[in-house]
Structure 1
Amino acid sequence: MWKPPAPPPDPEWIVATAPVRPALPGFRVLAGGLASGLLAAALLTEGLGVNVLLWALIGAVAAGLAAAAAGRRVRPWTVVWTVAALVLLLVPALVEASWPVVLALLAAAGAGSLALHGGKRWPGVLLGPIGIWPHLIPGLGWALLSLRNRQYPARARVVSIVKAAGVSLALLVVFGALFASADAAVAELLGDLAPSVDTDDLPMQVLLFLAGLLVALAAAHTAAGPRRFDRLPVKPGRARGRLEWAVPLVALNLLFGAFVAVQAVVFVGGYESVMRKPGMIPAEYARQGFWQLLIVTLLVLVVLALAGRWAPRSTPRDRAMAKTLLALLCSLTMVVVASALYRMHRYVDNFGLTRLRISVATVEIWLGVVLLLVLVGGILASSRWLPRAVVLSAVATTAVFGLISPDAMIAEQNVHRYEQTGRIDVGYLRDLSADAVPALDRLPQDQRICALQKIAQDLGDDQLPWYATSLAEARAREILRDRPVPLMNGSCGRIGVRLGSSYSGGYEY
């Protein structure tokens, strides 16, 4: 008799990282998921603020209950990742600009997922931040299976009451609609009796309810049975011969040493002496040099990863040589990072701070921190902490970047530069968010009005609820209420700012 062929075995990585099948959730976990959905529908419809943090706390409670029921213990790094996620969720409550808020929300989701999974090795800390998403549908099925298999008090009676109520409601709606269409007096009576429900936001509220429910149940399902990414098999790299491995690194260190020596000579002699050479444009020198050095830093991290994988390690002498060469490369690259940041500082002094410039400078600073961590990890006998430290540094950098309010810093730097030099790009500052209002409010009359007009129009007169409003927006509204900005008075034209044809609103053109 013919038999169907056996299904192929699961890949090795799926078998190795397979989670323990979690027990069905209790009522408290299910109630936490339901509360998360209701809170998302009630608070997240109108905007982002402290409501995101409140919603996340409910989901964290549900995940904690599921983890406790599964017998998982709270470890120090679980607390670290949880606190990091909650700090990141403070950004929407304090900052109005959408771009740092989006970065903070993504980083918070990653840190929260990593808190649920744990992880010490590189596979764990790199895959843990995205590990919660495959639990969205299984988490819902997990909850439904629990509801189906659970025995409730007076279950038959409750089911009968629900069925009777549903049939009664359907009959009343059908026949009530027919009677209302047949007689105007009945229609008026039914209209007075029926409760008034605002359905404008109903579709969005339903979507937010489902999203809040799914995320909370996914977090609980992950906490009860996470996939063990740390068990992902990673074959060690084949150690190369000492000559084959060391010569390229020695050559690279010599090249970096020569660059650092030139930078030292230039720094001692002063950048101005270099800038006075024929054909040398200071702005181009600083801007192009920064981007090239940023790429150099990224490539060095790749070289360090590959060199660490292929480094000879069979004898103490081989290990000492590998540590020495890699530590020297890290140290020289940190000088490259300092040079890149100094060039960006010079460029910003000449042309002002922008979103792109502050973003890439932040990335360069973070890369410098990573290099420092790698250097310390190479010096110490053990670097088991390195994967988590690198990811934590990225999370911390994102949190600091959001909490310092980049738009406010951009406005503050440009206003200070204007007070020193009289130069300012008001046309660019018009596109900043409400975070920039306190600094832009210090500008002279025409510059102030032109810079704040678009922000004032974007804020409008509609005041959002406290839980959906950032502190920066509330502060901006207070400033603009005390010193209103006229929408049409020719201020931009008087200071030479031309508004693009795509610009719309009640302003001047």
Structure 2
Amino acid sequence: MGAGAYAHDLWLTDLRREPPSTVGTAVLWAALATGVLSTVLLDEGVGVNLFLVALPATLTAYFAARRAGRVQARPWTLAWGIGGLALLLVPVLRAAQWPSFLAVATAIGLASLALHDSRSWAGVVLSPFGLVDSLFKGAAWGWRGVRARAGKASDNVGSVLRALAVTAVLLLVFGALFAGADAAFADLLSRLVPDTSVGDGPWHLLLFALGLLGALAAAHTAAAPLQWDRYKPSPGSARGRGEWALPLLLLCVLFAVFNVIQLTVLFGGYEAVLDKTGQTYSEYARQGFWQLLIATLLTLLVIVLALRWAPRGGPGDRNLVRGVLGTLCALTLIVVASAVRRMDMYVEAYGLTRLRISVVTVELWLGLVILLIMVAGIRGARRLPRAVAASAAVGALAFGLASPDGLIAENNVRRYEKTHKFDLDYARGLSADAVPALDRLEEPMRSCVLGPLAEELGPATASWYEISWGEVRARRILEERPPVTTGPGTCVGSGENGENSEYHR
């Protein structure tokens, strides 16, 4: 255990830059602001508060990088930073937690890329671990800076504390007087100022520590990042042309035969599905989508391994590799189109769900990755790692901004208008983002769906920074047209094909 940890530390030491210089005053103040905003704003809900906390944390990293001499106007670094902040707008706009979680996780990944300025596959994949490595180092680094400045500024501590005490007294006294004089001002003050109590002290202290430590970790990483690009994995042993190409060429033939059948069946219409398979649209779609998704993932793995063991004898070998892998990628794109088409048929039969919209989004992104690999085969692979990371970030941002719950509700409402079938139980589990689409339903269906959603939302008691625009819009709709009380048995549905509990008109 000890020997392994020692070897691990030696390996990271080879990747580290020089230790950061003394912590700058601006870094400490920005980190303190991050901690204060964390304890004040990050309480129960998620909205614009995450974005506001991220701003001083970004400044902490910027000040640390500038003091270490690392600030350069590099387009990719700016793109990662701006993209990470843009992803934090998803919780501001959308009430659903699952796309917001994806956006926040992706924002952390982009922040790690911006701090490390990584270009290689190792850097793109391992950059987040650099933040973890700096978590405790950043805290110790910041503490040393505070102690150094405390000795120099001991004479000013008393004056600063007196100024803060006078400010607090003035704000409390006059704020209480104005709140007692005007109810509207009191209501505004209650929304702007967090409601805290003695019992919440440990929780707010934890939030302060997380914000402060997170900002210092980002600053330490910005000043002395792990240089993941130095890590060069050993290349695989080059194979002969015949040994390397034969399995891949046969795989391409298999793909080609499968794709010919897919094009015949999938684009031949409903009658072609019945004639060639003896199945319905929904049965045919459900049978194959997951297999095709796995096939796409395995194809990417095959491409990675093929590149590792590809022959490297000269221009002839390079042309062979490009030709074979390019053909495999092109055939895989048809498999991706087939999988997406199958999911479209499945949704047409059973409606849209969170799982279905998520997996089809992943399949589309995998198709984009394959396209990027094909472009890299022509123009060079130097930018491929960052291009793949950027495509994932853009996909997460687009997925969140598109409001998946809203799209699910919109699709299922249109399906109800055509088939008069609707999954009540599933619709009740959607977030407030689905309310505008569900509001178009006729009664009593509308109240059957929106009644539980309205109860879950409850009154607007959260502060302005803890709620999303989707929640605000949903409350406005429900206040203008509140759901009516339905009688017993009105909202009971029946199942369809044993899959959904549906309301039938």
Q: Same fold (TM over 0.5)?
A: yes
The one-letter code of the counterpart of 1:303 is V
> Deviation digits for residues 403-454 of structure 1, max 9, x if unmatched?
1110000000000111122121112101000000000011011111111122
Counterpart in the other structure of 2:148: 149
Superposition map of 1:90-489 within 5 A: 90-150=89-149, 152=151, 155=154, 158=157, 198-276=197-275, 279-380=278-379, 382-486=380-484, 488-489=485-486
Q: Describe the shift of the 1:495–1:458 C-alpha distance in structure 2 as closer, same or farther (beyond 3 A).
A: closer
Are the aligned partners of 2:139 and 2:213 in contact in 1 as well (CA < 8 Å)? yes
Determine the C-alpha separation between the residues in 1 that align with 2:160 and 2:396: 52
Contact 1:38 1:209 in 2 (8 A): yes
Aligned to 1:60, the other structure's residue is in SS state helix
**Residues 64, 372 of structure 1: CA spacing in aligned structure 2 closer, same or farther, 3 A cutoff?**
same
Judging changes above 3 Å, is the alpha-carbon distance between structure 1 residues 405 and 469 closer, same or farther for their aligned structure 2 residues?
same
- Aligned-residue sequence identity (percent) comes to 49
Q: CA 1:336 to 1:215, structure 2 compared with 1: closer, same or farther past 3 Å?
A: same
SS state of the match for residue 35, structure 2?
helix
1:197 Cα offset (Å)? 7.0
Q: CA deviation at 1:269?
A: 3.1
- Structure 2 residue aligned with 1:506: none
SS in structure 1 at match of 2:336: helix
Please name the residue that 1:18 is paired with: 16
Q: Distance in 1 between matches of 2:13 and 2:43?
A: 41
Task: In structure 2, give the amino acid aligned to 1:242.
Answer: R
Cα distance in 2 between the residues matched to 1:261 and 1:197: 65
Answer yes or no: is the 8 Å Cα contact 2:265–2:273 preserved in 1.
Answer: yes
Distance 1:157 1:316 in 2: 71
Secondary structure in structure 2 of the residue aligned to 1:424: strand
Supply the distance in 2 between the matched residues of 1:424 and 1:328 (Cα, whole angstroms).
43
1:2-41 aligned within 5 A: 13-41=11-39
Q: CA deviation at 1:138?
A: 1.0
Match of residue 51, structure 2, among 50, 53, 60: 53
Q: Which residue does 1:497 correspond to in 2?
A: 493
Q: Displacement of 1:271 after TM fit?
A: 4.0
With over 3 angstroms needed to count, the CA separation of the structure-2 counterparts of 1:388 and 1:329, relative to structure 1, is same
- Aligned-pair distance for 1:136? 1.3
The separation in 2 between residues aligned to 1:428 and 1:463, in whole angstroms, is: 27
Contact 1:110 1:130 in 2 (8 A): no
Given that 1:139 and 1:220 are in contact with CA atoms closer than 8 Å, whether structure 2 keeps it comes out as: yes
| Structure 1 position 34, deviation (Å) | 0.4
Q: How many residues align?
A: 461
Distance 1:249 1:277, change over 3 A: closer
Query: CA offsets per residue over residues 19-78 of structure 1, 9 Å max, x none?
Result: 320012111100000000000111111311011111101100111011000000331111
Structure 1 gap segments, 5+ residues each = 163-195, 500-509
Change in Cα spacing, 1:151 to 1:95, as seen in structure 2 (3 Å) is closer
Q: Which runs of 5+ in 2 are unaligned?
A: 162-194, 496-505
Check whether the contact 2:410–2:437 (CA below 8 A) recurs between aligned residues. yes
How far apart, CA to CA, are the structure 2 residues paired with 1:87 and 1:230?
A: 26
CA contact (8 A) 2:239 2:309 kept: yes
The one-letter amino acid of 1:450's match is: C
Query: Separation in 2 of the partners of 1:496 and 1:351?
Result: 18
Indicate conservation of the 8 Å contact 1:13/1:233, yes or no: no
The one-letter amino acid of 1:320's match is N
- Between the aligned partners of 2:91 and 2:439, the Cα distance in structure 1 is 23
Q: 1:437 to 1:198 in 2, by over 3 A?
A: same
Q: What's the CA shift for 1:274?
A: 2.2
Tell me how far apart the structure 1 counterparts of residues 475 and 494 of structure 2 sit (CA, whole Å).
Answer: 26
* Greater Cα shift, 453-462 or 399-408: 453-462
Distance 1:152 1:367 in 2: 56
Asked if structure 1 preserves the Cα contact closer than 8 Å seen for 2:281 and 2:349, the reply is no
> Cα 1:291–1:28, aligned 2, differ >3 Å: closer, same or farther?
same
Aligned pair in 2 of structure 1 residues 327, 157: CA closer, same or farther (>3 Å)?
A: closer
Counterparts of 2:351 and 2:396 in 1: how far apart (Å)?
A: 22
Q: Distance in 2 between matches of 1:287 and 1:55?
A: 44
- Structure 2: distance between partners of 1:161 and 1:318: 71
Contact 1:415 1:440 in 2 (8 A): yes
| 1:484 Cα offset (Å) | 1.1
Q: Residues 268-289 of structure 1, C-alpha deviation per residue, up to 9 Å, x if partnerless?
A: 5334322256752432210121
Secondary structure at the aligned position of 1:205 is classed as: helix
With over 3 angstroms needed to count, the CA separation of the structure-2 counterparts of 1:299 and 1:12, relative to structure 1, is: farther
- 2:266·2:338 contact (CA, 8 Å) conserved in 1? no
Q: How big is the shift at 1:198?
A: 2.6
Q: Work out whether residues 20 and 226 of structure 1, in 8 Å CA contact, stay in contact via their aligned partners in 2.
A: no
Structure 1, residues 121-180: CA drift from partner, whole Å, max 9, x if none?
Answer: 110111113321221111111010111223655526848998xxxxxxxxxxxxxxxxxx
Shift of 1:18: 1.9
Distance between the aligned counterparts of 1:470 and 1:161, measured in 2? 37
Cα pair 1:118 1:125 within 8 Å, conserved: no
Measure how far apart 1:267 and its partner are: 3.8
Q: State the alpha-carbon separation in 2 of the partners of residues 23 and 498 from structure 1.
A: 68
Cα separation, partners in 2 of 1:46 and 1:350, compared to 1, 3 Å:
same
CA deviations on 1:157-214 (whole Å, 9 max, x unpaired) are: 848998xxxxxxxxxxxxxxxxxxxxxxxxxxxxxxxxx9732432221111111111
Q: Is contact 1:23–1:70 with CA below 8 Å preserved after alignment?
A: yes
The offset of 1:498, in angstroms, is 8.2
Select the structure of larger CA radius of gyration: 1
Aligned partners of 2:278 and 2:381: how far apart in 1? Answer: 48
Q: AA paired with 1:490?
A: G
Stretch of structure 1 that moved more, 24-33 or 419-428: 419-428
Q: Which residue pairs with 1:181 in the alignment?
A: none
Contact 1:16 1:233 in 2 (8 A): no
2:273 partner amino acid: V
Distance between the aligned counterparts of 1:204 and 1:220, measured in 2?
24
The aligned amino acid for 2:363 is E
| Residues 286, 344 of structure 1: 8 Å contact kept | yes
Q: Is the 8 A contact 2:12 2:226 kept in 1?
A: no
